[in-house]
Structure 1
Amino acid sequence: MIICVGFECYRCIAEWVGDLEALKPQSVRLIIIASVITGLLLVSVIILALFRSRLQYNKKLFISANTSRPYLSTDLCQRFSLTQIRVATRDFDQNLIIGRGGFGKVYKGCIDGGATHVAVKRLNPTSKQGEQEFLTEIEMLSKLRHKHLVSLIGYCDEKGEMILIYEYMPRGTLRDHLHYRDTKGTNNNQVLSWNQRLMICLGSARGLEYLHGGTQQLIIHRDVKSTNILLDDKWTAKVSDFGLSKVGPASDTGVGHVSTIVKGSFGYLDPEYYQRGQLTEKSDVYSFGVMLFEVLCARPAVELNLPYVRACYTKGILYTLVDPTLTGQITPECLSKFGEIAELCIRANRDERPSMRDVVWSLEFMLTLQQTAENTSDGSPMVELIISSNATGGGENGDSRISFREYVCESRAVGVNTQGSTVAGNTAVTNSHMEVKSGSVFSEIFDLRAR
Structure 2
Amino acid sequence: MDWWKKKNNKSPRAVLQRQRLVRERERGEILLQETIQCCDGKSNPIKCFSADEILEATDTFSESNRVSQLYDDFPFDWYSGKQKDNNNDHHHTILIKKWRYRLNDHNRGNFCRDIAMSSMVSGHKNFLKLMGCSLESENPVLVYHAVEKKPTSLDLKTVVSWRERLKIAEDIAIALAYLHTAFPRPFVYRIMRLGDILLDENGAAKLSNFSHCVSIPLGETFVKLGFRCVGGDYDYMDDDYLLNGVVSEKTDVFSFGVFMQKLLTGEERFRELNGRRTEWLGSYNMNVPRCWSNTIGEFSIYAVVDPHLLEKMGRVSEEEHCQMKAFLVLAERCIGLGGEVPKMVEVAKELKRFIKNASSPSYSTEIHM
State the TM bucket, normalised to the shorter chain. Answer: 0.7 to 0.9
Which whole-Å CA distance do the structure 2 matches of 1:66 and 1:208 have between them? Answer: 32
Which whole-Å CA distance do the structure 1 matches of 2:254 and 2:128 have between them? Answer: 21
**1:237-288 CA deviation, whole Å, 9 max, x = no partner?**
11111111111122x2x45333343443332222220000111111111111
* Among 143, 147, 151, the residue aligned to 1:165: 143
Report the structure number with the largest CA radius of gyration: 1
How much has 1:228 moved relative to structure 2? 1.5
What does residue 358 of structure 2 align with? 370
Q: How does 1:346-385 map to 2 (within 5 A)?
A: 346-347=335-336, 352-373=340-361
Q: TM-score, normalised by structure 2?
A: 0.73
Which whole-Å CA distance do the structure 1 matches of 2:347 and 2:254 have between them? Answer: 11
* 2:133 equivalent to 1:155: yes
Which whole-Å CA distance do the structure 2 matches of 1:348 and 1:63 have between them? Answer: 53
Kindly provide the amino acid, as one letter, of the partner of residue 358 in structure 1: E
The 1:358–1:89 alpha-carbon spacing in structure 2 relative to 1, beyond 3 Å, is: same
* 2:107 equivalent to 1:130: yes
* Among 117, 122, 137, the residue aligned to 2:93: 117
What does residue 38 of structure 2 align with? none
* 2:321 equivalent to 1:332: yes
Kindly provide the amino acid, as one letter, of the partner of residue 61 in structure 2: F
Q: TM-score, normalised by structure 1?
A: 0.61
How much has 1:70 moved relative to structure 2? 4.2
Kindly provide the amino acid, as one letter, of the partner of residue 74 in structure 2: G
Residues 64 and 160, structure 1, Cα contact 8 Å, conserved in 2: no
How much has 1:88 moved relative to structure 2? 0.6
Which whole-Å CA distance do the structure 2 matches of 1:61 and 1:301 have between them? Answer: 51
Which whole-Å CA distance do the structure 2 matches of 1:65 and 1:160 have between them? Answer: 9
Residues 149 and 207, structure 1, Cα contact 8 Å, conserved in 2: yes
Which whole-Å CA distance do the structure 2 matches of 1:173 and 1:248 have between them? Answer: 31
Residues 225 and 246, structure 2, Cα contact 8 Å, conserved in 1: yes
Which whole-Å CA distance do the structure 2 matches of 1:120 and 1:244 have between them? Answer: 19
Residues 312 and 318, structure 1, Cα contact 8 Å, conserved in 2: no
What does residue 40 of structure 2 align with? none
- The gaps in structure 1 that reach 5 residues or longer are 1-57, 181-190, 374-382, 385-402, 406-451
* 2:321 equivalent to 1:321: no
**1:9-68 CA deviation, whole Å, 9 max, x = no partner?**
xxxxxxxxxxxxxxxxxxxxxxxxxxxxxxxxxxxxxxxxxxxxxxxxx99965434667
The 1:112–1:216 alpha-carbon spacing in structure 2 relative to 1, beyond 3 Å, is: farther
What does residue 389 of structure 1 align with? none
Kindly provide the amino acid, as one letter, of the partner of residue 366 in structure 1: F
**1:345-387 CA deviation, whole Å, 9 max, x = no partner?**
12279x94221012112212221231334xxxxxxxxx99xxx
- The number of residue pairs the alignment matches comes to 307
Which whole-Å CA distance do the structure 2 matches of 1:119 and 1:316 have between them? Answer: 42
Residues 248 and 258, structure 1, Cα contact 8 Å, conserved in 2: no
* Among 152, 167, 183, the residue aligned to 1:215: 183
Kindly provide the amino acid, as one letter, of the partner of residue 130 in structure 2: L
What does residue 64 of structure 1 align with? 22
Q: How does 1:301-320 map to 2 (within 5 A)?
A: 303=271, 305-306=273-274, 311=294, 313-315=296-298, 317-320=300-303
Which whole-Å CA distance do the structure 1 matches of 2:324 and 2:174 have between them? Answer: 20
What does residue 206 of structure 2 align with? 238
The 1:348–1:59 alpha-carbon spacing in structure 2 relative to 1, beyond 3 Å, is: farther
Which whole-Å CA distance do the structure 1 matches of 2:293 and 2:349 have between them? Answer: 22
Between the aligned residues of both structures, percent identity stands at 25
Kindly provide the amino acid, as one letter, of the partner of residue 94 in structure 2: V
Q: How does 1:179-194 map to 2 (within 5 A)?
A: 179-180=157-158, 191-194=159-162
What does residue 10 of structure 2 align with? none
Kindly provide the amino acid, as one letter, of the partner of residue 110 in structure 1: K
The 1:132–1:348 alpha-carbon spacing in structure 2 relative to 1, beyond 3 Å, is: farther
* Among 282, 288, 296, the residue aligned to 2:264: 296
How much has 1:75 moved relative to structure 2? 5.0
Which whole-Å CA distance do the structure 2 matches of 1:228 and 1:288 have between them? Answer: 13
- The gaps in structure 2 that reach 5 residues or longer are 1-15, 33-42, 276-290
What does residue 258 of structure 1 align with? 224
* Among 252, 274, 282, the residue aligned to 2:250: 282
How much has 1:305 moved relative to structure 2? 4.7
